């Protein structure tokens, strides 16, 4: 090949300028035998201590129990080795699995049609916003400040390229979206959609009531219902029941572990009216030429491989394997099992809230009912960051510092409890907070003398 291209040597062909070339050999240790390398890596792995922490972290990433049957099926080679099938109809098994995922998402959201999944909840929201822009011809989105901050950031990223205005609705004193000024905001009919999340970022049930739904719809504005904690769908009303034209959410809670930031699996569901605007792949059930049930990709006209210049989205692949895990998880639990798991989340969170607020100085920041997260205000004079740092020294990841996104809530912590949170862990948190409160009190006492 060198002769063909007229180069004398490989070095001549790929000549790296001296200014950027590394002089001398690379500074890497000598090669190790496989067994020694294994031992060395195990040593590094042992330095990870996070697994030993008691965790109350949630905020969009949730720990749930996953029955072993889920992974033993999902990890089968037939599923694991299949990337997006390009000759899709050959992979009837995978298409059936995707069809079942779509069916579950429709049942959980109460909507007519769901796609084969998107990257995550945040991109599901952004893609849904684009759907509403295309449906209404309007170029602004009104989003509640109680929607997950990262979701709103991704929405703004998408909006920048499309030249959409993103405006926010404030939060009320109870931790829910403040709709009091809604009519005035909607009056000029420039918003394509109002975006609300329930449970919202503070864990509060934030489904808009009938008056709000009617006010939004009367201006031709659509409602996007965001669900960042899919487990809540086992206990709370479906987005369709609170007026959502589109449900955009995160399905990680269904069998997908929290693993250093991913992978996640987003879902989008909508009404029949908007089905032709839904991005990504859709699987439909049909019959083949012998009358047997067959699964096919359908409604592809807006996908980029059919009409590239008219595509409404750049989603071409999806989180098929994560969606498969979620599908098997839902099949394993069934409707009754999912409901029981969701109710356990409610119970553990109630226990968590009761234990934490029993500690002097700690109180609930918001009065609205919650699902599996609760916002706690730390004692006066302390910050959330101080409390969390102290808990961490005692082996407890005590939640998320809300000051990171909401400056006015710098004395507030967002705590999560799920069915895997034990009573002993909640008691350990309560004891650690009590020690913190006692120290604060004696420090104050000293200071006032």
Contact residues for another protein, defined by CB under 8 A: 137, 276, 301, 306-307, 310
Sign of CA dihedral 255, 257, 263, 265: positive
CA–CA separation, 156 and 284 (whole Å): 32
Least gap, CB of 134 to another protein (angstroms) = 10
Which helix (H) or strand (E) segment holds residue 157: the answer is helix 149-162
136 CB neighbour count, 10 Å cutoff: 17
CB 138 within 8 A of CB 303: no
CB 56 within 8 A of CB 399: yes
Least gap, CB of 174 to another protein (angstroms) = 38
Least gap, CB of 284 to another protein (angstroms) = 13
Judged by beta carbon, residue 156 or residue 276, the one nearer another protein is: 276
DSSP state, residue 30: P
Query: What are the distances in angstroms from CA 123 to CA 57, 267, 313?
Result: 22, 9, 11
Please spell the DSSP secondary structure of 260-284, one letter per residue: TT----EEEEE-GGGGGG--S--EE
Least gap, CB of 301 to another protein (angstroms) = 4
Judged by beta carbon, residue 190 or residue 339, the one nearer another protein is: 190
Contacts for 24 with CB less than 8 Å, ≥ 6 apart: none
Q: Which of 266, 328, 297, 279 is nearest to 91 (CA)?
A: 297
> Greatest CA span in the chain, whole angstroms?
91
Judged by beta carbon, residue 134 or residue 394, the one nearer another protein is: 134
Q: How many CA atoms lie within 13 A of 358 on its CB side?
A: 12
Least gap, CB of 307 to another protein (angstroms) = 6
Strand 396-397 with 54-55, pairing: parallel
CA–CA separation, 376 and 391 (whole Å): 14
Judged by beta carbon, residue 76 or residue 189, the one nearer another protein is: 189
Least gap, CB of 182 to another protein (angstroms) = 23
The SS3 call for residue 247 is: strand
Judged by beta carbon, residue 146 or residue 193, the one nearer another protein is: 193
Least gap, CB of 297 to another protein (angstroms) = 14
Judged by beta carbon, residue 241 or residue 273, the one nearer another protein is: 273
Least gap, CB of 368 to another protein (angstroms) = 37
Sign of CA dihedral 328, 332, 338, 343: negative
Judged by beta carbon, residue 150 or residue 300, the one nearer another protein is: 300
Judged by beta carbon, residue 80 or residue 301, the one nearer another protein is: 301
Least gap, CB of 109 to another protein (angstroms) = 23
Judged by beta carbon, residue 290 or residue 308, the one nearer another protein is: 308
Judged by beta carbon, residue 92 or residue 300, the one nearer another protein is: 300
Least gap, CB of 136 to another protein (angstroms) = 8
> How far is Cα of residue 236 from the mean position of the Cα atoms in its chain?
17
Q: Which of 405, 411, 441 is nearest to 152 (CA)?
A: 405
């Amino acid at each position: 090949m060198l002769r063909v291209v007229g180069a004398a040597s490989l070095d001549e062909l790929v000549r790296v300028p001296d200014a950027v070339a590394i002089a001398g050999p690379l500074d890497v240790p000598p090669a190790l035998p496989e067994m020694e390398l294994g031992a060395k890596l195990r040593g590094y792995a042992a330095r990870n201590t996070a697994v030993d922490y008691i965790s109350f972290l949630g905020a969009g990433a949730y720990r749930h129990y996953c029955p072993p049957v889920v992974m033993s099926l999902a990890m089968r080679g037939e599923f694991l080795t299949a990337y997006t099938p390009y000759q899709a109809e050959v992979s009837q098994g995978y298409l059936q699995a995707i069809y079942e995922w779509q069916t579950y998402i429709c049942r959980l959201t109460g909507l007519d049609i769901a796609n084969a999944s998107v990257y995550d909840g945040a991109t599901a929201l952004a893609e849904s916003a684009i759907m509403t822009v295309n449906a209404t011809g309007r170029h602004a989105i009104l989003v509640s400040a109680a929607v997950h901050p990262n979701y709103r950031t991704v929405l703004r990223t998408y909006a920048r390229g499309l030249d959409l205005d993103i405006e926010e609705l404030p939060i009320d004193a109870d931790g829910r979206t403040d709709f009091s000024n809604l009519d005035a905001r909607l009056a000029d009919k420039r918003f394509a959609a109002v975006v609300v999340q329930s449970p919202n970022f503070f864990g509060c049930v934030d489904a808009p009531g009938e008056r709000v739904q009617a006010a939004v719809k009367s201006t031709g504005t659509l409602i996007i219902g965001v669900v960042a904690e899919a487990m809540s769908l086992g206990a709370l009303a479906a987005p369709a029941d609170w007026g959502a034209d589109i449900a955009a959410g995160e399905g990680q809670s269904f069998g997908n572990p929290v693993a250093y930031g991913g992978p996640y699996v987003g879902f989008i569901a909508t009404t029949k009216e908007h089905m032709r605007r839904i991005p990504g792949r859709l699987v439909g059930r049909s019959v083949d030429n012998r009358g047997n049930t067959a699964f096919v990709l359908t409604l592809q006209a807006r996908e980029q491989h059919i009409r590239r210049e008219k595509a409404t989205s750049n989603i071409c692949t999806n989180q098929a394997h994560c969606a498969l895990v979620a599908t098997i998880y839902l099949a394993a639990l069934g409707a009754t099992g999912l409901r029981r798991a969701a109710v356990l989340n409610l119970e553990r969170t109630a226990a968590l809230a009761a234990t934490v607020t029993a500690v002097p100085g700690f109180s609930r920041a918001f009065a609205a009912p919650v699902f599996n997260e609760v916002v706690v205000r730390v004692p006066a004079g302390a910050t959330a960051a101080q409390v969390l740092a102290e808990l961490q020294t005692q082996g407890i990841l005590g939640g998320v510092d809300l000051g990171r996104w909401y400056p006015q809530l710098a004395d507030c912590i967002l705590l999560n409890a799920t069915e895997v949170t034990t009573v002993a862990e909640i008691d350990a948190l309560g004891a650690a907070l009590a020690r913190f409160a006692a120290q604060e009190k004696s420090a104050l006492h000293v200071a006032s003398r």
